[in-house]
């Protein structure tokens, strides 16, 4: 499975008329690269988690809007921008929690609107250039997050992470995994522990896959085993990603993160959130204001099972994310450094 680390998570397909991604719904059993270009396909790629993870979704959205701009027939600049905005709004409606999605689309629309006297074909090319820059900047940001976070990992540490905030959710280094990859490159020996992450199993299917493929000593554990690992003294530090960070540093991340933070606080284990500054949403005052996506009941009752494992008439609660209070977070690691919080 080492081939996985040789494939771009998100990239333009040859000709720049489609976005090329790894279909993550098929992992770990099959590594399949697909090209998506149709507006419904681009929307579904986000909605149905073929591409996932806040940073990767942002990059994908920028590239998707660039692709869609090429199919807009209006040559009048005003009409073109109106149609482009409609496409951006359509893509933005695919998932509500990850701020990188709306951020990238706003960046692309700003690029389109500030081209002055440029005609439509020139704007289309500028959109392509902006999408490429968003992608390149993301890769640089991930490495910087890793460089700031790696010194926190000492020899023989146990490092715990939740969900997938690795290269499959980003580009090359990931966010929560970036300190691990950089530490591994520097020859630091440590053990990585991956929460399986119910109900979609991103930790089991994705993080465990990519870390082990990179040669990192990796152990998979069920979500409800993390506190046991901490009590046994096997965890020295926790790194997680983020889909949105409020102005007060309350953080929305994959469901189960808040329980992990509570356990880490109890056992006095440092708990770090790794995310680019684009994930910080200053318009959101606290975590109470972050919209939380709720997903289909079947992800809990039927997915991954040969037969349905719950009563047919049972009600299901299936939020995709929860909010970790800033008081439980040791620090936020961004491309600008480590911002320590007072718990």
Q: How far apart are CA 273 and CA 249, in angstroms?
A: 10
Give the residue from 279, 239, 272 showing the smallest Cα distance to 339. 272
Name the pairing type of β-strands 10-12 and 19-22: antiparallel
Q: What is the pLDDT of residue 91?
A: 97
The pLDDT, as a whole number, for residue 116 is 76
Which CATH number does the domain housing residue 310 bear?
3.40.50.10470
What DSSP element (H or E) covers 266? helix 257-266
Residues 22 and 70 in one domain: yes
Sequential DSSP letters for 279-320: GEETT--SGGGS---B--THHHHTTT-SS--S-TT-----BS
- Please tell me whether the peptide bond between 199 and the residue prior to it is cis, using omega within 30 degrees of 0: yes
* Torsion angle of C-alpha atoms 316, 321, 326, 329, degrees rounded to 10: 110
Active site residue 23: no
pLDDT at 48 over 90: yes
**pLDDT of amino acid 7:** 87
Residue 329 buriedness (CB in 10 A; 0-12 / 13-18 / 19+): buried
For 232-259, how does the pLDDT look when each residue is reduced to its tens digit (9 = 90+)? 999 999 999 999 999 999 999 999 999 9
Confidence of residue 6 (pLDDT cuts 50, 70, 90): confident
**Statement to judge: residues 122 and 92 lie in one domain:** yes
Is the model's pLDDT at 3 over the cut of 70? no
Say how many domains are in the chain: 2
Contacting residues for 256 by C-beta, under 8 A, at least 6 apart: 162, 163, 195, 197, 198, 223, 322
- Using DSSP's 3-state secondary structure scheme, residue 119 falls into coil
Residues 117 and 170 both lie in one domain:
no
11 and 37, same domain (yes or no): yes
- Residue 104: pLDDT over 80: yes
- CB 171 within 8 Å of CB 9: yes
pLDDT in tens, 57-75: 999 999 999 999 999 999 8
Of 113, 141, 169, the residue that ends a domain is: 141
- Tokens representing 309 are 């494992």
Q: Which of 195, 223, 236, 243 is catalytic?
A: 243
Q: Residue 317 is part of which domain span?
A: 145-340
The CA distance from 127 to 38, in Å, is 17
Asked if pLDDT for residue 2 goes beyond 60, the answer is no
State mean pLDDT over 271-299: 95
Alpha-carbon distance of 46 to 136, in angstroms, equals 20
CATH number at residue 62: 1.20.120.420
Residues 177 and 192 in one domain: yes
């Amino acid at each position: 499975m080492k081939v996985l680390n040789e494939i771009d998570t998100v990239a333009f397909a040859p000709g720049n008329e489609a976005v090329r991604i790894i279909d993550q719904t098929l992992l770990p059993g099959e590594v399949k690269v697909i090209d998506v270009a149709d507006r419904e396909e681009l929307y579904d790629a986000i909605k149905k988690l073929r591409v996932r993870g806040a940073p990767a979704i942002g990059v994908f959205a920028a590239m998707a809007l660039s692709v869609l701009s090429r199919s807009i027939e209006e040559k009048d600049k005003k009409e073109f921008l109106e149609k482009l905005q409609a496409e951006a709004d359509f893509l933005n409606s695919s998932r509500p929690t990850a701020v990188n999605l709306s951020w990238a689309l706003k960046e692309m629309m700003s690029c389109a609107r500030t081209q002055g006297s440029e005609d439509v074909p020139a704007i289309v090319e500028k959109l392509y250039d902006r999408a490429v820059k968003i992608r390149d900047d993301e890769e640089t940001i991930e490495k910087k997050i890793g460089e700031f976070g790696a010194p926190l990992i000492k020899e023989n540490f146990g490092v715990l992470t939740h969900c997938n905030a690795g290269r499959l959710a980003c580009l090359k280094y990931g966010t929560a995994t970036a300190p691990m990859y950089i530490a591994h490159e520097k020859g630091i020996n440590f053990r990585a522990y991956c929460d399986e992450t119910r109900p979609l199993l991103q930790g089991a299917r994705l993080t465990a896959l990519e870390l082990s493929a990179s040669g990192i000593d990796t152990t998979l554990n069920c979500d409800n085993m993390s506190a046991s690992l901490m009590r046994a003294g096997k965890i020295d530090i926790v790194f997680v990603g983020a889909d949105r960070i409020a102005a007060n540093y309350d953080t929305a991340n994959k469901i189960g993160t808040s329980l992990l933070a509570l356990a880490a606080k109890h056992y006095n284990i440092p708990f770090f959130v790794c995310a680019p500054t684009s994930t910080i949403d200053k318009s959101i005052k606290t975590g109470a204001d972050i919209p939380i996506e709720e997903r289909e009941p079947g992800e809990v009752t039927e997915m991954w099972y040969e037969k349905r494992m719950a009563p047919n008439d049972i009600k299901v609660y299936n939020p995709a994310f929860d909010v970790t209070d800033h008081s439980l977070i040791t620090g936020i690691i961004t491309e600008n450094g480590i911002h320590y919080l007072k718990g």
